[in-house]
């Protein structure tokens, strides 16, 4: 059977091969593989040159602004103490504000216990749930720190993460810095293993590439830093879901640039069931339509104040790869199934191998930049299964985008409490 | 019959000089019900403690709302006029009451003792005597006044000690404290609190002053006007701040101050005192009568 497939591969013409690999060549290869490879090649040459000249890349942490770490959460009594433990004492000029968004499990009590024995920890209790945006905004009146760092209450900061994430802020043009989110529980289940590799590929390396092109459009809600002046200028977070991406677009609109601190790492717990993963990704994808295609479409207007080509490129990147080519991918798949022929299995296998090959290349790039190569190599062992995982994600993506385009589904989601979403603007 | 103000003096008169024929005025006016139940009698000494050496056993003859007739297997009747009588109930549990001896009648069947239930204020086991009490001199809760006597009653199985309460007392001098909301750090009760507004539509959270515009509320972020509390926004209480030491906290601490030594500390640092009282199964004549009916 494999011999048949080899014969089939050797017998097809180059134009047929291009047609067979259309989704790969259109969607994934240029966005993830070529970009990563070019970035790696540049860095490799640069590193070799540095090696030959004896120059060092190690930059000391010289910039030390005052920092306020905001931990906003709901019903995270089990994890808040551990998160506080990982944050407290990791940076000299730091205060911590914990915002309890109406928890019923005693989260604020746990945080208060911590505050009693640790200096510069303030706990704010909201009597009822108002959504993550308002919880984050509630911390702002109580801090005068220059940099606001947001950390999810179920996450754990890596060593020196705060130091790393504030360094790009030395540039006054930078309004926000994205940290890197990696898996805290990668080997718990197959689903977390797959996500862990995806995070390495798309958050760790993928954002490096986006940052170099100045089209970084997201600062993870799990770990990100914001200049306080910039936050005050845009008046904090708007109602979610997708409030982190929305804030970044508003900062870009206000003229700030978005930086990346790839080695400021935050370990977060990943969803452990396919259903929860589906709901999480659906929420993420809604934001593509709500913010990139509706609310902030004026970023593409060349006559708008603060217009930047990078903002236009960022939106085009989002429209093209998250919407147009996504539909093209499913259209192609539908076309193949509709015009099913005897070589369909061979064609799909060819695509699978090509996608798996891409993942191997991605793994190599990840390992080049990795801080913990052994762990990342173990995570990368799941690469042959990634094509199936991405198929699932693409299904979730197309579902979410379609329902958001047609029904504005995001404004009926429980991520935002009903009394808030009833009065907010439905973009 | 003359009644002396000192009950102890009446003891001799009543026990040993009981008339053979009881004048009509002295007889019980309430209907009597025949009742035969095991009974014990314990003479009460002048200090309220039991006379363990003269505990008598017998049975009841009749009972009324005002008193009882008992037959005691004792060659010599009790000398003291005040007795504690325990009557066994149907559940084999003894129930006790304080009684006063009225007469002793010799008959062929033995000595028959007539007793009457004493007034509540003369009862040996008054509620206030069984419970700890507040000592205003030391601002503390003291054990029951006659604890030694109560312990002796416990030895006879009449009373038993029970934990009635747990109270927080000063860890230094065991006196009672007063409580107030105060600063967790310095204990000051001078606290300030800032009110915030959360505007639902844009998620903005800011001080109330920022929203106030010419007598109306306007969101400084999205410029929405005529905001209605509950529908458009909610008030949030910001963290408390101490006006003395500037400490900020989400909730004020319960601060205790000792009434006696003045020590001030968080309520969680107080000691806990166990209050011991005494319990007695009280005899209710109506219940006895009801069981006869």
The tens digit of pLDDT for each residue in A263-284 reads 999 999 999 999 999 999 999 9
Contact B255, B180 (CB under 8 A): yes
Sign of CA dihedral A250, A256, A260, A266: negative
Please report which helix (H) or strand (E) contains residue B141, including its range: strand B140-142
Q: Which residue has the tokens 């029904």?
A: A407
Contacts of B203 in chain A (CB under 8 A): 130-131, 133-134, 137, 236-239, 243, 420, 424
Residue A408 φ/ψ region, left for φ over 0, alpha for ψ in the -120 to 50 degree band, beta for the rest: left
Contacts of B195 in chain A (CB under 8 A): none
- Portion 67-96 of B in contact with A at CB < 8 A: none
Span of A237-251, A336-350, B262-276 with lowest mean pLDDT: A336-350
Reference B50, options B163, B146, B162, B161; nearest CA is: B146
Residue A11: half-sphere exposure toward Cβ, Cα within 13 Å: 9
**Do A239 and B203 make contact, defined as CB atoms within 8 angstroms?**
yes
Closest CA in chain A for residue B248: A122
Which domains, ranges and CATH numbers included, belong to chain B?
Answer: 7-125+282-292 (2.40.10.220)
Cβ neighbors of A349 (< 8 A, separation 6 or more) are: A5
DSSP state of B118: P
Best probe of the A interface among B202, B220, B224, B230, by most A CBs < 10 A, is B202
CA distance B237 to chain A (A): 8
Span of A118-127, A337-346, B17-26, B207-216 with lowest mean pLDDT: B17-26
pLDDT digits (tens, 9 = 90+) for B239-278: 888 999 888 887 788 999 999 999 999 999 999 999 999 9
Q: Which residue has the tokens 């107030």?
A: B180
Contacts of A420 in chain B (CB under 8 A): 200-201, 203
CB-neighbour burial class of residue B289 (10 A; exposed 0-12, middle 13-18, buried 19+): middle
- Is B248's Cβ below 8 Å from some Cβ in A? yes
Instruction: Identify the pLDDT of residue B77.
Output: 65
Closest CA in chain A for residue B220: A235
**Do A138 and B200 make contact, defined as CB atoms within 8 angstroms?**
no
**Do A141 and B205 make contact, defined as CB atoms within 8 angstroms?**
yes
Instruction: Identify the pLDDT of residue B11.
Output: 39
Q: Which residue has the tokens 């879901």?
A: A241
Span of A11-25, A192-206, B216-230 with lowest mean pLDDT: A11-25
With a cut of 60, say whether residue B68 has pLDDT above it: yes
Span of A377-386, B13-22, B62-71 with lowest mean pLDDT: B13-22
With a cut of 90, say whether residue A225 has pLDDT above it: yes
- Is B269's Cβ below 8 Å from some Cβ in A? no
- Complex ipTM, two decimals? 0.85
Report d(CA B45, CA A274) in Å as an integer: 82
Instruction: Identify the pLDDT of residue A398.
Output: 94
Instruction: Identify the pLDDT of residue A406.
Output: 93
B112 vs B109, higher pLDDT: B112
CATH of A67-274, picked from 3.50.50.60, 1.10.645.10, 3.40.50.10240, 3.90.550.10, is 3.90.550.10
**Mean pLDDT of the region A114-134:** 89
**Do B239 and A235 make contact, defined as CB atoms within 8 angstroms?**
no
Contact A250, A136 (CB under 8 A): no
Contact B50, B153 (CB under 8 A): yes
Span of A25-39, A59-73, A146-160, B204-218 with lowest mean pLDDT: A25-39
**Do A236 and B201 make contact, defined as CB atoms within 8 angstroms?**
no
Contact A99, A124 (CB under 8 A): yes
**Mean pLDDT of the region B199-209:** 92
pLDDT digits (tens, 9 = 90+) for B73-88: 776 666 668 899 999 9
Q: Which of A125, A419, A425 is closest, CB to CB, to B250?
A: A125
Instruction: Identify the pLDDT of residue A57.
Output: 65
Instruction: Identify the pLDDT of residue B79.
Output: 66
- Is B254's Cβ below 8 Å from some Cβ in A? no
With a cut of 60, say whether residue A199 has pLDDT above it: yes
Every domain of chain A and the residues it spans: 67-274
* pLDDT category of residue A380 using cuts at 50, 70 and 90: very high
Please report which helix (H) or strand (E) contains residue A400, including its range: helix A386-407
CA distance B252 to chain A (A): 11
With a cut of 80, say whether residue B184 has pLDDT above it: yes
Instruction: Identify the pLDDT of residue B4.
Output: 41
Q: Which residue has the tokens 């770490």?
A: A69
Sign of CA dihedral A377, A381, A384, A385: negative
DSSP state of A270: P
């Amino acid at each position: 059977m494999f011999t048949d497939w080899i014969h089939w591969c050797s017998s097809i013409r180059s134009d047929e091969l291009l047609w067979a690999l259309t989704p790969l060549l259109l969607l994934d290869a240029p966005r993830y593989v070529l970009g990563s490879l070019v970035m790696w090649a540049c860095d490799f040459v640069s590193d070799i040159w540095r090696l030959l000249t004896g120059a060092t890349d190690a930059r000391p942490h010289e910039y030390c602004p005052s920092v306020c770490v905001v931990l906003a959460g709901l019903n995270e009594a089990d994890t808040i103490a551990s998160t506080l433990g990982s944050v407290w004492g990791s940076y000299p000029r730091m205060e911590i504000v914990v915002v309890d968004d109406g928890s019923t499990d005693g989260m604020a009590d746990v945080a208060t216990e911590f505050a009693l024995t640790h200096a510069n920890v303030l706990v704010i209790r909201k009597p009822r749930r108002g959504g993550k945006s308002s919880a984050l905004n509630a911390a702002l009146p109580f801090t005068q720190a220059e940099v606001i760092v947001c950390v999810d209450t179920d996450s754990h900061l890596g060593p020196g993460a705060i130091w790393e994430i504030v360094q790009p802020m030395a540039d006054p043009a930078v309004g926000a810095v994205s940290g890197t989110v990696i898996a805290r529980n990668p080997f718990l289940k197959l689903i977390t293993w797959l996500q862990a590799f995806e995070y390495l590929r798309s958050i760790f390396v993928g954002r490096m590439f986006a940052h170099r092109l100045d089209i970084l459009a997201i600062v993870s809600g799990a770990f990100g830093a914001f200049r306080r002046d910039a936050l005050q200028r845009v008046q904090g977070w708007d109602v979610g879901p997708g409030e982190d991406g929305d804030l970044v677009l508003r900062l870009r609109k206000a003229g700030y640039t978005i930086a990346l601190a790839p080695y400021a790492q935050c370990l977060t717990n990943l969803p452990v069931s396919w259903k929860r993963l589906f709901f999480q990704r659906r929420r993420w994808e809604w934001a593509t339509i709500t913010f990139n295609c509706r609310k902030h479409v004026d970023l593409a207007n060349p006559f708008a104040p603060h217009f930047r080509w990078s903002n236009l490129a960022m939106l085009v990147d989002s429209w093209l790869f998250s919407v147009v080519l996504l539909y093209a991918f499913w259209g192609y798949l539908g076309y193949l199934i509709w015009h099913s022929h005897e070589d369909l299995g061979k064609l799909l296998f060819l695509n699978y191998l090509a996608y798996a090959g891409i993942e191997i290349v991605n793994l190599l790039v990840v390992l080049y930049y990795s801080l913990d190569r052994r762990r990342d190599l173990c995570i990368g062992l799941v690469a042959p299964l990634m094509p199936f995982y991405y198929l699932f994600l693409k299904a979730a993506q197309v579902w979410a985008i379609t329902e958001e385009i047609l029904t504005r589904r995001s404004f009926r989601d429980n991520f935002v409490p009903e009394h808030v979403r009833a009065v907010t603007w439905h973009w | 019959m003359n009644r002396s103000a000192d009950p102890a003096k009446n003891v001799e008169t009543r026990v040993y000089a009981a008339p053979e024929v009881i004048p009509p005025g002295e007889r019980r006016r309430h209907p009597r019900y025949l009742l035969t139940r095991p009974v014990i009698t314990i003479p009460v000494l002048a200090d309220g403690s039991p006379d363990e050496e003269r505990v008598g056993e017998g049975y009841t003859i009749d009972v009324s709302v005002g008193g009882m007739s008992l037959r005691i297997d004792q060659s010599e009747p009790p000398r003291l006029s005040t007795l504690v009588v325990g009557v066994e109930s149907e559940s084999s549990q003894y129930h006790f009451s304080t009684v006063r001896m009225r007469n002793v009648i010799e008959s062929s069947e033995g000595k028959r003792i007539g007793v009457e239930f004493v007034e509540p204020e003369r009862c040996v086991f008054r509620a206030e005597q069984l419970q700890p009490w507040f000592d205003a001199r030391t601002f503390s809760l003291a054990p029951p006044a006659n604890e030694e006597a109560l312990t002796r009653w416990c030895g006879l199985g009449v009373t038993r000690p029970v934990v009635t309460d747990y109270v927080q007392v000063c860890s230094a001098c065991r006196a009672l404290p007063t409580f107030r909301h105060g600063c967790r750090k310095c204990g000051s009760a001078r606290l300030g609190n800032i009110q915030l507004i959360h505007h639902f539509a844009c998620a903005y959270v800011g001080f109330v002053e920022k929203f106030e515009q010419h007598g109306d509320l306007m969101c400084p972020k999205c410029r929405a006007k005529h905001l209605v509390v509950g529908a458009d926004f909610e008030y949030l209480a910001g963290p408390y701040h101490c006006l003395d030491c500037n400490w900020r906290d989400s909730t004020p601490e319960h601060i205790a101050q000792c009434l006696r030594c003045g020590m001030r500390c968080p309520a969680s640092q107080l000691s806990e005192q166990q209050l011991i009282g005494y319990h007695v199964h009280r005899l209710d004549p109506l219940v006895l009568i009801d069981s006869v009916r």
